[in-house]
C-alpha cells in the first residue's frame, strides 16, 4: 500500500490519481490534516495523519500495511518565511518522524527536494547535482537537511530513500501552496479570467519549471527504477527554464493583449538566490529521465484545461 502525506497540497491529488491507475484505487491512501472534499473521499481511501504525531503515523503505517511512503507535507518557501517555527517543526521534525518509521517498517520512501535547496553561493546557470548548498530560506535549509538525513539513513541502515529536486511545478487542477514559483500558475488563471496579471517577480527572473504530468511521472519513474541504476539517492530533474516575460509572451499566443505588470515583493529575494537553469543530465543518464512538456506545449495544455473548466 502507498501512503501520501500532505496529499491535499499541489501534487498529492494528481499523484494519487496516477498511482491508483497503476496499483488500484484501494492501494493508495491519501492523508493530510485538512478536511477532504466529497470528491476526494469518493476517489479513494483518505485518512487523517499529522506527521508531528509519531504514534498516530506509526498506527497508520501498521494498520494500512504501508510499504511506500510519499512525504509531501511541508511549508514551502514563501509561506515558510512567514512561519519559521512551524516550518522547522513540520519540515524537519516531521521528516525525522517519517524517516524513522520508514526505517522501522522497511518502507520505500520518497521525499521531494527542490531548486530551493540551493542558494546564492551555488552555481546558478546551470546548477549541477552536487555543488555547495547554502539556501537562504528555512524551506531550503530543511530540504537540504532532508536530503542529508535520507542519504545517511540509506548508507547507515539501508533505507530505500529516493529524492528528486523539483523545479517550480505548474498545474491547472490544483493550487500551489505558498511557493515562490506560484506566479507561473496564477498567470494562467488571470490571463483567462481578466486578461491582466500582476507579477510579484521582475520580468527577467528566470527559474527552472516543469508541468505537473512530467513531475509525477518523474516521481513514479524514480520509485520503480532498479536499484542498480541509482548512482545516488537525490537527483535534479527539470523540463525548462523561463522568466515571467517569456511565459507572458508565450501566453499571448492564446490570450492576445494579455497585460502583465510587475510589482516585485519579498519573493524576489528568494528567487534571486535560486538556480536559473537546472542540470539534470545525471537523472537522464542513470535512469532515463526525459521531460515531455516544453514551454509551448505546457501553455497549450494549461490554457485548454482551464478553458474546459465550467466557469
Ligand atoms: C516553492 N513551488 O516555490 C515551491 C518549490 C521550486 C520551488 O519548491 O517554494
Q: How confident is the model at residue 289 (pLDDT cuts 50, 70, 90)?
A: very high
- Among 19-23, 139-143, 175-179, name the one with the lowest average pLDDT: 175-179
Task: State the average pLDDT over residues 126-142.
Answer: 98
Residues with CB under 6 A from ligand 1: 76-77, 114-116, 139, 167-168, 176, 179-181
Q: What is the mean pLDDT of residues 52-64?
A: 98
Please identify, by atom number, the ligand 1 atom nearest to the C-alpha of residue 76.
Answer: 9
Contacts of 60 (CB under 8 A, 6+ apart): 3, 29, 31, 47, 49, 66
CA of 156 to the centre of ligand 1 (A): 30
The pLDDT assigned to 213 comes to 98
Predicted confidence (pLDDT) per residue in 243-270, tens digit: 999 999 999 999 999 999 999 999 999 9
Instruction: Report yes or no: 3 and 70 within 8 Å, Cβ to Cβ.
Output: yes
pLDDT: is 209 or 175 the higher one? 209
Q: 5: which strand partners?
A: 71
pLDDT, position 175: 83
pLDDT confidence of residue 92: 98
What's the predicted TM-score (pTM) here? 0.97
ipTM of predicted assembly, 2 dp? 0.93
Distance 228 CA to ligand 1 centre (A): 30
Question: Residue 176's pLDDT is what?
Answer: 80
**Strand order through the sheet with 168-170:** 168-170, 207-211, 240-242
Report the atom number in ligand 1 closest to the C-alpha of 112: 8
Residue 237 CA to ligand 1 centre (angstroms): 13
**Residue 200 bears catalytic tag:** no
Average pLDDT of the residues in 35-49: 97
* Structure-derived torsion over alpha carbons of residues 278, 282, 287, 293, reported in degrees to the nearest 10: 20
Per-residue model confidence (pLDDT) at position 311? 64
Residues 176-222 have pLDDT tens digits of 888 999 999 999 999 999 999 999 999 999 999 999 999 999 999 99
What pLDDT is attached to residue 310? 75
Check residue 224 and give its pLDDT: 98
- pLDDT category, 309, cuts 50, 70, 90? confident
284 has pLDDT over 90: yes
What is the distance between the alpha carbons of residues 295 and 216, in angstroms, rounded to a whole number? 17
Q: What is the distance between the alpha carbons of residues 176 and 8, in angstroms, rounded to a whole number? A: 10
Active-site annotation holder among 46, 105, 139, 293: 139
% of the chain exceeding 90 in pLDDT: 97
**What sections of the chain are H helices per DSSP?**
12-23, 38-43, 54-63, 77-81, 84-88, 94-104, 138-157, 183-193, 212-224, 244-251, 267-272, 281-287, 295-308
Q: What is the mean pLDDT of residues 56-70?
A: 98
Amino acid at each position: 500500500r502507498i501512503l501520501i502525506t500532505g496529499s491535499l497540497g499541489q501534487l498529492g491529488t494528481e499523484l494519487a490519481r496516477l498511482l491508483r491507475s497503476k496499483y488500484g484505487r484501494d492501494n493508495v491512501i491519501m492523508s493530510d490534516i485538512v478536511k477532504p472534499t466529497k470528491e476526494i473521499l469518493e476517489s479513494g481511501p483518505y485518512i487523517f495523519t499529522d506527521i508531528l504525531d509519531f504514534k498516530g503515523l506509526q498506527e497508520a503505517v501498521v494498520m494500512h500495511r504501508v510499504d511506500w511512503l510519499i512525504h509531501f507535507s511541508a511549508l514551502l518557501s514563501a509561506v515558510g518565511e512567514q512561519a519559521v517555527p512551524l516550518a522547522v517543526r513540520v519540515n524537519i521534525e516531521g521528516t525525522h518522524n517519517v524517516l524513522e518509521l520508514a526505517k522501522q517498517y522497511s518502507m520505500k520512501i520518497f521525499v521531494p527536494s527542490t531548486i530551493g535547496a540551493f542558494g546564492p553561493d551555488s552555481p546558478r546557470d546551470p546548477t549541477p547535482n552536487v555543488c555547495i548548498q547554502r539556501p537562504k530560506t528555512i524551506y531550503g535549509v530543511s530540504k537540504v537537511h532532508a536530503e542529508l538525513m535520507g542519504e545517511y539513513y540509506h548508507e547507515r541502515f539501508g533505507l530505500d530513500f529516493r529524492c528528486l529536486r523539483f523545479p517550480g511545478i505548474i498545474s491547472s487542477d490544483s493550487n500551489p501552496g505558498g511557493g515562490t514559483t506560484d506566479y507561473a500558475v496564477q498567470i494562467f488563471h488571470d490571463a483567462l479570467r481578466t486578461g491582466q496579471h500582476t507579477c510579484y517577480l521582475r520580468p527577467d527572473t528566470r527559474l527552472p519549471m516543469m508541468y505537473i504530468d512530467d513531475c509525477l511521472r518523474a516521481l513514479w519513474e524514480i520509485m520503480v527504477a532498479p536499484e542498480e541504476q541509482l548512482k545516488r539517492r537525490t537527483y535534479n530533474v527539470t523540463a525548462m527554464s523561463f522568466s515571467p516575460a517569456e511565459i507572458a509572451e508565450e501566453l499571448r499566443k492564446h490570450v492576445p493583449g494579455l497585460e502583465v505588470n510587475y510589482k516585485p515583493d519579498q519573493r524576489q529575494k528568494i528567487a534571486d538566490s535560486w538556480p536559473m537553469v537546472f542540470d539534470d543530465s545525471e537523472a537522464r543518464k542513470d535512469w532515463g529521465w526525459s521531460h515531455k512538456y516544453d514551454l509551448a506545449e505546457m501553455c497549450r495544455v494549461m490554457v485548454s484545461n482551464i478553458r474546459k473548466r465550467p466557469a
